[in-house]
Amino acid sequence: MDSFSLPEKIDRPIKIACVGEAMIELSFAGDNLDQPNIAFAGDTLNTAIYLKREIKNSAEISFVSRLGTDEFSTSMLAFMNKEGLNTNNITRDANKLPGLYSIMTDEHGERTFNYWRQNSAAKELFQTGGEIDFSPLSDFDIIYYSAISLAILPVNVREAFLGWLADQRSLGNIRVAFDSNYRPALWSGVEDARFWTEKAWKNCDIALPSADDEKSLFGDRDIEQTIKRLNSYGANFGALKRGADGPLPLTPIGELPQFKPAKKIIDTTAAGDSFNGAFLGALLVGAPIKEAMLKGHDCARETVGFAGAFAN
């Protein structure tokens, strides 16, 4: 499968919602804990920003989440707006705060994380006055989310969210993009994570898996087994990310382009998120999947050459 089709009868700029959690990021160089760099990030937020940078004004990119009313939340909104994201569908809760995480990188750019998100406002996304409410998503053509987005939601909201996506897809109203970002600490166990991730794979139009995540979660013996399993769910369009080796399409498309290695690796944070953003951006302006994979890979190559989630 070489191309992607949007919902029919769109007579305005495409509207894309990236759904998830924005967090405060404390990053440290090596083991020096005295002077952290403070920034804002989160997997779907990172993708939203790279998507906006790629697609520019050809589509409206919104981040859909919930924040507090504290100074950090206000600064987050200012940061998102500066990057060109629409933040009209971010609700705020005076009794909650944004999540916080720390990140330390070793000499190879590999990362170690710690998280403090027990009081995160994003955990109450789509919940209003005790009721589940997906009206913030009602005006979008494409919904992008990840397994992290699912994991932070209460089970009843998670189930309702996947049901709402399935209903809207069946009506032809939306297309769904999904990344299975696997974070074991967010799940009660591997079986729980597998259950919900499988449900999500069976309900998406653009699949954005990572080989490492899929192997960790499902125990696939090799890339071929991963792709076969994803295809069995109906996930036939998208790209399997393999880091420096470059992505593979989920169905054969002939000869693949050459994927160059990164010139330098300082920090692998957001490598997959940046790939997703550039890949989606290229697709949505009409590029064939080969070109979109190259765009995504080149964006990730650049991203890992900078500290933090965003290339300067």
Any idea which residues carry the catalytic annotation?
A: 273
- The DSSP string of 134-166 is -GGGTT-SEEEEEHHHHHTS-HHHHHHHHHHHH
Residue 69 to residues 80, 96, 120, 154: CA-CA distances in angstroms? 15, 8, 12, 22
Look up residue 173 and give its two tokens: 């109203």
d(CA 45, CA 142): 15
Handedness of CA 287, 288, 294, 296 (dihedral sign): positive
- Beta strands 248-249 and 239-240 are antiparallel
| Residue 26: partners with Cβ closer than 8 Å, 6 or more residues away | 36, 37, 38, 100, 101, 102, 103
Q: Answer for the pair 288, 9: CB distance below 8 angstroms, yes or no.
A: no
Q: Which tokens in the block code for residue 304?
A: 């890992």
